[in-house]
Structure 1
Amino acid sequence: MSGDNETEKKQGLGKAIGLGIITGAADDDPSAIGTYASAGAQFGTAILWLAPVVLPMMFTVVYLSSKLGQVSGRGLFQVIRDFYPRWLLWAVLVGVTIGNTIEAAADLGGMAAALGIFIALPIPWIVAAVAAALLALQMFGSYATIRSVFRWLTLALLAYVAAALLARPNPGEILRGTLLPTVRFDRDFLSIVVAIIGTSLSAYIYTWESNQQVEEKIEDGKTRLSQRIGASNSELARSRRDVLIGMLFSNAVMYFILMSTGATLHAHGQTNIETAAQAAEALRPLAGEGASVLFTVGIIGVGFLAVPVMTAGAAYDLAQAFGWKASLHARPGEAPAFYWFIAGLTAIAVVLNFLGFNPMRALVWSGIVQGFSTPPLLLLIMLMTNSRRIMGDKVNSRWMNALGWITTTAVFSASAGLVATWLL
């Protein structure tokens, strides 16, 4: 009997670690990769210190989202709908849905640009083919299948570790850039700081993480809200460990992208990099064919993971706002509105690419947009996870509140600093 319990614990831990890695990998979408590549090319290894600084912020917002889903038994937007005024629900919903759709379009375009290096087809047609494949997975794959596919896709991000090593960075410069922060109070620097924070703390990650926790409870047979409400201390401790593993993975990818582009592109004067695909091409003569191919493979692999997370995340938000069923466990006939939302958002993302939407610039600028949409949503999550009406006795501890309010203040300050540079 004890052996069975031990096996169950190991399986539970393995599943939890898989969830954390999926969320962390989805955070490193093509938009994020483009932003990190642009930062490394523009500022070199001197900006490496930002990765460890952003790590506790990433952990805080994702864990609070996970905790909210576990304890309330609801996705983020169902919590807003059940406990907050309708005007707040719709105000937040509009901003998040528009942001998710534009970023999904940008990521599809970024993936297509990367695939275009190997496939001689017009970019919009590659976008359409990729979108159709992703939509088929979401419409006809079970939740367990989707989760398994996503786990395997996370391995694509390991390509950036190899690409950084192939770039042969100077150890002394890497150490200085990591341990000695270099700060500039000009628009270019503050723009890239806001973009990095925004893309690392993207709103779609919050909603995906809370809904993922709900989906896991549904998989365990807790199909009714009354069955899903509540989480034990051990479950929350496992969630903290899970999120920490996922965010360490995501943050390490950020660090190695900054390292590889800073040690090559910046060092050779190629400071104007706008996309991940452009960075992959520019790496070819400087770090070798292997580094370029690995960089490109990473873009494609994580794009297949991140785009459905964005479209499904926005569909969760919309369906929950209207009070309709929203679950990847349900078949399309059981939750028609949810799946129509996924299909519609995917179609809009594809159409934007056919209409001349420029994914190249959007991949970096979407990070800045996320940087401005993140602060109010993060503030709302802090209020939610401190509400006893929602969380019962599982409201935030003092240290979690300290991390949360420091993160919220830092995000607001970075955005305000960027606005100040524009005005002055």
Structure 2
Amino acid sequence: MDFSPTGIPPRRNHSTVAQPTAEALPGGWRSARGEPSLADMFGSIRVARTGSFWRKLAAFLGPGYLVAVGYMDPGNWATSLAGGSKFGYALLAVALISNIMAIILQALCARLGVGSGRDLAQACRDAYPKWVSWPLWLLAEIAISATDLAEIIGTAIGLNLLFGIPLEIGVLITALDVFLILALQVLGFRWIEAFVVALLGVIAACFATQIAMADPDWGAVIRGFAPTTEIVANRDMLYLALGILGATVMPHNLYLHSGLVQTRGYGHSEGEKREAIKFATIDSTIALCLALLINASILILAASTFHASGNTDVAELDKAHALLSPMLGSAIAPTLFGIALLCCGLNSTVTATLSGQIVMEGFINIKVAPWLRRLITRAIAIVPAALVTIWYGERGTAQLLILSQVILSLQLPFAIVPLVMFTASKAKMGTFIAPRWLTAAAGLTAAIVIALNAKLVVDFITG
């Protein structure tokens, strides 16, 4: 973390960081670049012009971990628990493939943000007419609302498991986390990153302890990372696989990362931007590998604890919490589960707020105070969450969590396709155009996502 000796984040040096400009790349874009993404934090973190590889990398470490939070939110827990308890280790292959897809797509996001000076939302607004960009904005808002819905339910369940707070009250309490975000933003962006990384450390420690207690069949774990045709042939398995995909490769993360990379003051020259792309890609790759470990741990815990004992219908977070103690023979296991869940919910709060700001400002060029933006998205998500928890109870919240992740999966093509097209365009990216191999890998990723979504829709229609 880039703190000064006093522990206070360094203030912007307007003579050394990249500044908002009205410049545009030659051709390609419909309008010149205006105010940058997250303008109040743009270029606020200094990057050393000289020094070792590790010193430079340290300046870029951070955005990747905020992106990684989206890959392990409470909605991911529900799909991983359901998949592990019902199908054992078989869906580990989906978690691995999804993570590889995520690494490829986030690399393109870093390239777009640094190379074009635009986040994905701004790029869509600049490249497409309103009749295209506005529907894309609405779809992005739906994806963020689905993410927020999962976060609200997960945080409420975490509060219930740890402190006995009723779910209905917990759902309402989650609206207050807007003040946490505002406090962190006042301190500086590095403090936001420090908060996220600290909670990720707690989550990792909790799951490492639970996995050690569960003592899984490591041979079966390794075999689970090999994909099988049953994943596509079995409708129930495909539904959960798409839920895992939607919970791993999340649409709002593509908008988020392309904006967060611009918080670094990397300079204007081609060499400085190429170096920034390299280090930003390393940052996101490292963070996503950590996300894979945590996601796999959730599924492994469910497979080794629930599936192995015949409990094949565990999707509710509170049910998993209740079963952990008798099955693992330890009273601390459910407490660790609850702590990790609450940490995931709090972390998701940060990323949902920032991605919401990027999407709204980028697509429709409207400025809304962060606290108001947060309350708007919270209100949209709280209403269905509150109704479901009151009407259906815990089981209804579990089904809603999984459904929210499938909705995210269905939204993915509308974010992936523009991202691949922009970064593959010489006119839009200039010398920062993505290598052909990276474009091909991203194109294959888009094709797989679209094909799986089409099959899910056909299966749903045909019953």
Structure 2 unpaired stretches of 5+: 1-47, 390-395
- TM alignment of 1:205-216, pairs within 5 A: 205-216=253-264
Contact in 2 for aligned 1:135/1:346 (Cα 8 Å): no
2:312 counterpart (271, 288, 292): 271
The match for 2:28 is none
1:304-345 deviation line (CA, Å, top 9, x unaligned): 0112312331232112222235xxxxxxxxxx4454222221
- TM alignment of 1:310-349, pairs within 5 A: 310-325=352-367, 336-349=368-381
> How far, CA to CA, are the matches of 1:296 and 1:32 in structure 2?
15
Contact in 2 for aligned 1:110/1:360 (Cα 8 Å): no
1:377 lines up with 2:415 in the alignment = yes
- TM alignment of 1:142-291, pairs within 5 A: 142=185, 143-158=189-204, 159-179=206-226, 181=228, 183-184=230-231, 185-217=233-265, 232-287=273-328, 288-291=330-333
> How far, CA to CA, are the matches of 2:122 and 2:271 in structure 1?
16
Structure 1 stretch displaced more, 403-412 or 167-176: 167-176
TM-score normalized with structure 1 length: 0.88
The match for 2:425 is 387
The match for 1:397 is 435
2:61 counterpart (2, 6, 17): 17
- TM alignment of 1:68-79, pairs within 5 A: 68-79=112-123
> How far, CA to CA, are the matches of 1:352 and 1:242 in structure 2?
36
Contact in 1 for aligned 2:69/2:351 (Cα 8 Å): no
The match for 2:460 is 422
Post-superposition offset of 1:140: 3.4
Q: Which amino acid is 2:195 matched to?
A: V
Structure 1 stretch displaced more, 278-287 or 404-413: 278-287
Sequence identity (%): 22
CA pair 137-229 structure 1, distance change in 2 beyond 3 A: farther
1:95 lines up with 2:127 in the alignment = no
CA pair 297-228 structure 1, distance change in 2 beyond 3 A: farther
Structure 1 stretch displaced more, 357-366 or 394-403: 357-366
Aligned to 1:118, what secondary structure does the other structure show? Answer: helix
Q: Which amino acid is 2:353 matched to?
A: T
Structure 1 unpaired stretches of 5+: 326-335
> How far, CA to CA, are the matches of 1:361 and 1:103 in structure 2?
14
Provide the alpha-carbon RMSD of the alignment. Answer: 2.4
1:206-250 deviation line (CA, Å, top 9, x unaligned): 111111112334xx7x8xxxx699963222221221121011111
Contact in 2 for aligned 1:35/1:364 (Cα 8 Å): yes
> How far, CA to CA, are the matches of 2:52 and 2:319 in structure 1?
46
> How far, CA to CA, are the matches of 2:104 and 2:386 in structure 1?
38
Post-superposition offset of 1:408: 0.8
Paired residues, number: 403
Post-superposition offset of 1:33: 1.4
> How far, CA to CA, are the matches of 1:39 and 1:308 in structure 2?
27
Q: Which has the higher helix share?
A: 1
The match for 2:35 is none
TM-score normalized with structure 2 length: 0.81
Q: Which amino acid is 2:93 matched to?
A: W
Post-superposition offset of 1:402: 1.9
1:353 lines up with 2:385 in the alignment = yes
